[in-house]
Amino acid sequence: MHIPDGYLSPSTCATLYSASAPFWYVALKKVKARLHTKLIPRLALFAAFSFVLMMFNVPLPGGTSGHATGVGLATVVLGPWAGMLAISTALLIQALFFGDGGITAFGANAFNMAIAGCLVTYVFYRLLLRVFGMRSWAQAAAAAIAAYIAINFSALLAAIEFGIQPMFFKDAAGHPLYAPFPLSVTVPAMLIGHLTFAGLAELVITGGVVAYLKRTSPGLLAGGPAPYSWKPVVAVLAMLIILTPLGLLTAGRAFGEWSAQDFQNADARTQIEKASGAAVPAQAPSGLKRFATLWSAPLRDYSPKFISNQPAGYILSAVVGVALLLLVIFSFGALARRT
């Protein structure tokens, strides 16, 4: 679901940056108003949790892969506005340092996952809490179902953004300039995988962690009682970092995350054709090829060049990503307090 550079036209990217900006502005105002609480450590911790969670790829139909996002969990713990900032920051670190999602497409990825994902989660979570009432399982169940709906809504948005590209952006010969597949391909390709495996992973993880926190540290949940302990979440995060190499077991790329070179590679073309169920262009669209190399991430694909052991490099990437998130968010908190 991380849209790379080159798959969306510059005008589409600019539109989605513009659409995201008001939400980021309001979210920053809301977060600054809550700096007297322990929000910043929670924001940093659950941004890190989301970052690591997105490194666990699961196989999807068609030979592609997907992942949970942690958006539902961040919303339930932090509230929708702080959740937006946590997920947006995680997506930014992924794009800048690991090439997971594009720089030009960051506004689109943030809009789809952080903004729409958090808002959809929040609306359905509150609605479901009213429906379920005061039952002991209500909070975990509401969070799980809301997260499932949200990840599928985010996937639908990405599918629409992919699918409208060949409708509006073509070269003189009528060939697509950016993402080459129409809505009739992108919508089922994205939703089938997320309605099943990726969505269910999000549902199980969100519901399981919320139930775990409700039992071990209920004060961490939004509106929960104080005080609370950091130890349960830190322990889960540390365990996930150690287990991140499991994300390497899924070989296929996510739909719409193929590189420009993949369109000319026989094996990759076979995977693209299988995933899309449509004819694959003989080479990458010209606009995609032009923007694909716009930014060279230093730890692209979570694979440091100076480490030959791939699992070790994956773990190191997780540690670096978490450290960068903590640095950015705690620095923001310190700056916001001064101003």
Q: What is the pLDDT of residue 240?
A: 93
Please say whether the beta carbons of 298 and 32 come within 8 A: no
C-alpha 155/C-alpha 202 separation (Å) is 13
Tell me, yes or no, whether 1 lies in a domain: no
Question: Taking the CB of residue 334, how many other CB atoms lie within 10 A of it?
Answer: 11
* Domain of residue 49, CATH code: 1.10.1760.20
Please say whether the beta carbons of 195 and 210 come within 8 A: no
Tell me, yes or no, whether 38 lies in a domain: yes
Place of tokens 């509150």: 126
Q: What is the pLDDT of residue 28?
A: 94
C-alpha 325/C-alpha 92 separation (Å) is 9
Task: Write the Ramachandran bin of 60: left for phi over 0, alpha for psi from -120 to 50, otherwise beta.
Answer: beta
Q: Which residues pair with 65 in a beta bridge?
A: 59
C-alpha 307/C-alpha 153 separation (Å) is 37
- Per residue of the chain (339 residues), give pLDDT as tens: 899 999 999 999 999 999 999 999 999 999 988 877 788 988 999 999 999 999 999 888 777 888 999 999 999 999 999 999 999 999 999 999 999 999 999 999 999 999 999 999 999 999 999 999 989 899 999 999 999 999 999 999 999 999 999 999 999 899 999 999 999 999 999 999 999 999 999 999 999 999 998 888 887 776 555 566 777 788 889 999 999 999 998 867 889 999 999 998 888 888 889 888 888 888 899 999 999 989 999 999 999 999 999 999 999 999 999 999 999 999 998 888 787
Terminal CA-to-CA distance of the chain, rounded, Å?
36
Q: What is the pLDDT of residue 224?
A: 56
What's the CA angle centered on 121, arms 7 and 82, to 5 degrees? 85
Tell me, yes or no, whether 251 lies in a domain: yes
pTM of the entire structure? Answer: 0.95
Q: What is the pLDDT of residue 222?
A: 60
Q: What is the pLDDT of residue 75?
A: 96
Domain membership of residue 100 as a residue range: 10-338
Q: Which residues pair with 66 in a beta bridge?
A: 58
Q: How many domains does the chain have?
A: 1
C-alpha 100/C-alpha 81 separation (Å) is 23
Q: What is the pLDDT of residue 61?
A: 76
Tell me, yes or no, whether 143 lies in a domain: yes
C-alpha 92/C-alpha 43 separation (Å) is 15
C-alpha 280/C-alpha 150 separation (Å) is 30
Question: Taking the CB of residue 25, how many other CB atoms lie within 10 A of it?
Answer: 10
DSSP state of 196: I
Q: What is the pLDDT of residue 304?
A: 93
E-assigned strands of the chain? 58-59, 65-66
Q: Parallel, antiparallel, or unpaired: how do β-strands 65-66 and 58-59 relate?
A: antiparallel
Place of tokens 């929708």: 80
Please say whether the beta carbons of 31 and 43 come within 8 A: yes
Tell me, yes or no, whether 130 lies in a domain: yes
Tell me, yes or no, whether 2 lies in a domain: no
C-alpha 236/C-alpha 215 separation (Å) is 14
Tell me, yes or no, whether 5 lies in a domain: no
Q: What is the pLDDT of residue 231?
A: 79
The verdict on whether omega for the bond into residue 281 sits within 30 degrees of 0, i.e. cis, is no
Place of tokens 């440091």: 304
Tell me, yes or no, whether 224 lies in a domain: yes
Q: What count of residues does the chain have?
A: 339
Q: What is the pLDDT of residue 228?
A: 67
Q: Give whole-number Cα distances, 323 to 88, 93, 200, in Å.
A: 16, 10, 29
